[in-house]
Amino acid sequence: MDREESKYLIPVNVSTRFEIIEGIGMYEIKIIFIATIVGLAIYKILGFFPVISSMVQAFAIIIPIAGAFLMVKKEPSTGLSILYFLKSRREYMKNQKLYLYRQGDLY
């Protein structure tokens, strides 16, 4: 009786969450949508002042959207975003640190 071996193909780099674009999921789309609403609100507010040009108003929409996109876009090599890094840094800075040192000479 010959023993047949089964070979299983194991996929690599499979994401467990739904991503519309690589690194951009539903959470990131929500943040970008909120930034769009903020940009449109700034655009409308700047529209009340006649001395402000339409180019400045256009940048009032573009800058929040681009900033939000860059903050939430995950880096492909690490899988981390700038927003996640800033949150992790804030949590690290809130925790108490223990510095082990010896009093006196180094040698």
* The Cα angle at residue 71 between residues 69 and 75, in degrees rounded to 5: 90
- 41 to 37, 87, 88: CA distances (angstroms): 6, 26, 30
**R_g of the chain computed on alpha carbons:** 24
Answer yes or no: is pLDDT of 84 > 80.
yes
For residue 69, what pLDDT band results from cuts at 50, 70 and 90?
A: very high
Provide the 10 A C-beta neighbour count for residue 81: 19
Provide the 10 A C-beta neighbour count for residue 70: 11
- Report pTM: 0.69
Report yes or no: 81 and 72 within 8 Å, Cβ to Cβ.
yes
Bridge partners for 34 per DSSP: none
Could you read off the pLDDT of 10-43 as tens digits, one per residue?
787 777 778 888 778 888 899 999 999 999 999 9
DSSP reduced 3-state for 52: coil
